[in-house]
Amino acid sequence: MQRLAQPVLSFLLYGLSGVIGLVAFTYPFFLDAAQLAAAAGARQSAPLLTMLLLTVCLLILLIEMQGQAVSAKVVAALGVLVAVTAALRFLEAAVPGPGGFSPIFAPIILAGFVFGARFGFLMGALTLLVSALITGGVGPWLPYQMFAAGWVGLTAGWLPPLRRPLLLLSFFGFAWGLLFGLLMNLYFWPFTVPVVGSAAAGDSAVWQPGLTLTAGAARYLAFYASTSLLWDLIRAVGNVVLLLALGMPAVRALVRFRDRFQFQLVTG
């Protein structure tokens, strides 16, 4: 009974994190004009979201450590990978790359692909948290970055375990290079207002309460194309370059580690 309860509880916690993230990204679109203006003037949800997500991650780790196919050494590997990837972001902050390029997404994708969706989610969310603390990048965007990066690792764990996964991983990295930017813009886009004299931020590219889904999507795509597309394309291409250059050696090393230390308790 206990062995059955652990995976169910773990699944519920992952589901809860997904629901929290979905609500965090989408709730502004369900507000009327007065509520949206009030929310824009008092956006105090970021610390609460960060604490909620961090609490869920810690609960997941505690449950995973209770014997369900995850050894203490694999959890230790998670800590090492998070620390190394967070250090890469520190280097990125010290020597900025072009556009939205960041070296942190390739390790998150590779870890999720090898160790699975749950490991990937924790890898992504905790990496963004630790790297923000290291680089001083703590702000209202942080919990949204944690959710988005967690979903990168989570979905990487859903990829089929191909013997030659390099092309699949490269396509996946390119897609998430764009999707990460698409998601991150949502945390502030509903609160933007037109800028006088700026065609890119005119009435046709901002959210207004009461718009239909089609009209809202058209406005968001206009905003995204004029402000973020090139930036995110550079991130996407950077992901592909890193995955093509380092993907297979990293996958082989991670697979050897996983096969050596990951186990499942079997009792009579």
Residue 267 lies in a domain: no
pLDDT, mean of each 10-residue run, the chain (268 residues): 58 83 89 81 68 79 61 80 89 77 95 91 92 83 91 94 91 97 92 56 75 90 92 96 93 86 49
| CA–CA distance, 9 with 17 (Å, rounded to integer) | 12
CATH assignment at residue 70: 1.10.1760.20
Q: Which stretches of 33-104 are DSSP H helices?
A: 33-41, 45-64, 72-94
Q: What is the pLDDT of residue 139?
A: 83
**What pLDDT was estimated at residue 267?**
45
Q: Is residue 112 part of a domain?
A: yes
Question: Quick check: is 137 in a domain?
Answer: yes
192 falls within a domain = no
Within a domain: 87: yes
268 lies in some domain: no
Tell me whether residue 237 is in a domain: yes
In a domain, 212, yes or no: yes
Count up the domains in the chain and report the number: 1
Structure tokens at 71: 């050894």
The residue segments making up the domain with residue 56 are 2-187+197-261
